[in-house]
Amino acid sequence: MNELEILSIHFVATLLMVGIIWFVQLVHYPLMLYVRAADFRRYSQVNQSRISFVVVGPMFVEALSAAALIGWFPNSTAAPAFVGSVLLLVVVWVSTAALIHRLFA
pLDDT score recorded for residue 34: 93
Domain count, the chain: 1
pLDDT score recorded for residue 56: 87
Mean pLDDT by runs of 10 across the 105 residues of the chain is 86 88 87 91 86 87 83 70 76 80 75
Angle in degrees, CA 57, 17, 25, rounded to 5:
125
Query: By residue range, what is the domain housing residue 37?
Result: 3-104
- Nearest alpha carbon to residue 66 among 9, 2, 1: 9
DSSP tag of 74: T
Burial class (CB in 10 A: 0-12, 13-18, 19+), 98: exposed
pLDDT score recorded for residue 78: 64
